[in-house]
Each structure stands twice: as structure tokens, then as C-alpha cells.
Amino acid sequence: QVQLQQSGPGLVKPSQTLSLTCAISGDSVSSKNAAWNWIRQSPSRGLEWLGRTYYRSKWYNGYAVSVKSRIIISPDTSKNQFSLQLNSVTPEDTAVYYCTRTSDGVNDFWGQGTLVTVSS
């Protein structure tokens, strides 16, 4: 059974960087049959896909246009995890953030969620 365990701060100041990590058990971040995503949820935006990282003989990333200029999603093979960095945050980035695994075209496993509040 795949499990995704999220960690990271729940409060970030405006203009600073939001950083979250998703530790994977039961699968490998380097799996050629999976992609690893960050998705957020807020009352105003609903479920919003932010981006993904995946390995297919080399590493690939994909990002949503809405955050492309300030997001980095990176794998850490030594710790079997992946992370999210979102720069220059504003109160609009306040949301519950989820990491997920995509396999066979569906998000079949989700992390527990992290409420991140952007406030001074």
C-alpha cells in the first residue's frame, strides 16, 4: 500500500517561500509508472493542480501556467520523497496543499493535506 506523508510549516509570511515535502512509502519516486503531483484546495479556487515530477529514463517536470514562474517541484531519490517550493507567496496562496501519486491516469493516493496560511 502506498502512503504519502507530508511535512512542512503551516504559516508563511507574504513574499517568502512556501516549502513542503512528501515522503513516499510503498513505491519509488523514480518509478517509471507514476507521476508525483502537488495539488491545492481553497474555497475560492477549488482543487487546483500545481505541477508534477516524474521519471522516464530522465526527470521531467510540468507546472500549471498560473504558478509556472514561481514554482519548483523536485525529487529526492536518496530519501524517496519530493518537494514543493512556491516563491513570492501572497494571501491568495493560502490553501490546503496535497501531494498525490498519479498512476494509470488517476490520482490514486493522496497525502493527508497541509493547511498553509500566508500571513504576516
Partner 1 sequence: QSMLTQPPSVSGTPGQRVTVSCSGGTSNIGRDIVSWYQQLPGTAPKLLISGDNQRPSGVPDRFSGSKSGTSASLAISGLQPEDDADYYCGTWDGSLNGWVFGGGTKLTVL
Interface positions with partner 1 (CB under 8 A): 37, 39, 46-49, 51, 62-65, 98, 102, 104-113
* 16 or 42: CB nearest partner 1: 42
Radius of gyration of the chain (CA): 14
Min dist. Cβ of residue 26 to partner 1 (A): 14
Min dist. Cβ of residue 13 to partner 1 (A): 26
d(CA 88, CA 90): 7
Min dist. Cβ of residue 50 to partner 1 (A): 9
For 64, list phi and psi in degrees, rounded to 5. -70, 145
| Ramachandran bin of 51, using left for φ above 0, alpha for ψ from -120 to 50, beta for the remaining angles | left
Q: Report the SS3 class of residue 92.
A: helix
* 44 or 78: CB nearest partner 1: 44
Min dist. Cβ of residue 84 to partner 1 (A): 15
* 40 or 83: CB nearest partner 1: 40
d(CA 7, CA 19): 9
* 25 or 77: CB nearest partner 1: 25
